[in-house]
Every structure is written in structure tokens, then in C-alpha cells.
Amino acid sequence: MTKLEMVKEYFELSDTATTNLADRQKIVNLFADDVVLESGIGEKVSGIKALKEFFDVFFSRNIKLKHVFVTDEQSEQYKTAWAVAGINKDGQLFSLTGYDKYHFNPEGKIDYITVHVES
């Protein structure tokens, strides 16, 4: 899988990971064991176990998500602009826009991701 395909899979699986635990695990499998994630609300997690726990909490906050996205490949760092609409677990609609930046290790796994929420 190319890096671009990996980013695409990350977003596509994010649309189903609220209800599909196998897809949630597939997301985790895209990341390196020593991954660092910085969320759009200031959370920082390090390591694959902490990342899995982060995603379990994140996806359990929502009933449904739908992303649209465009990725710009910049050498070893990829930037993806995104918009997401969803329904949170309280039944409220929401929408956000922002961008993610990714870095890949030599094995092709994501070892760093930072999420920026713009609205």
C-alpha cells in the first residue's frame, strides 16, 4: 500500500469505525508502534497502545461520521485537508473542517500525525 493509499484508507475506515471494531483495529494497524498523535484539541498520545485507547474514546463519542478529504503529498510529509459531518452520541449534528499532517517511518507506517481543527 502506498502512503497516499494509506491516508485514504485512514479516512475511509474512520467513517465506519464508530460501529465497526474491526475497522477501528485496521486504523490502528496503519500506525507504527512508536507513533505520536497530537489531536485537534491539544491531546497528545505516544505509542500504539495509547493510540488504540485514544481511538476507542474518540469513536465512541459519535454514532456516525462522514469525511471528505484531499491529500497533498509533500516528500515524506503528507497533508490532508478534510471536512467531517457527523452525529455525536447525544444525537446532535456537527461539522468540522481542518487538516492533518502525517510522517511515515522507513517501513511505511505512520509514526507522527497532528490534527488541526479550523472550524
- Which triple of cell numbers denotes residue 73? 503529498
Which ranges of the chain does DSSP label H, i.e. alpha helix? 3-14, 21-28, 48-60
Grid cell, residue 42, equals 491539544
Give me the residue spans of the domains in the chain.
3-117
Model pTM?
Answer: 0.92
The confidence score (pLDDT) of residue 76 equals 64
Supply the pLDDT for residue 75: 62
pLDDT value, residue 119: 86
| Per-residue model confidence (pLDDT) at position 39 | 95
Maximum C-alpha span of the chain: 42
Contacts of 61 (CB under 8 A, 6+ apart): 88, 89
Per-residue pLDDT of the chain (119 residues; tens, 9 = 90+): 899 999 999 999 999 999 999 999 999 999 999 999 999 999 999 999 999 999 999 999 999 999 999 998 876 679 999 999 999 999 999 999 999 999 999 999 999 999 999 98
Q: How far apart are CA 49 and CA 12, in angstroms?
A: 22
What CATH number does domain 3-117 carry, 3.40.50.300, 3.10.450.50, 3.40.1160.10, 3.40.50.20? 3.10.450.50
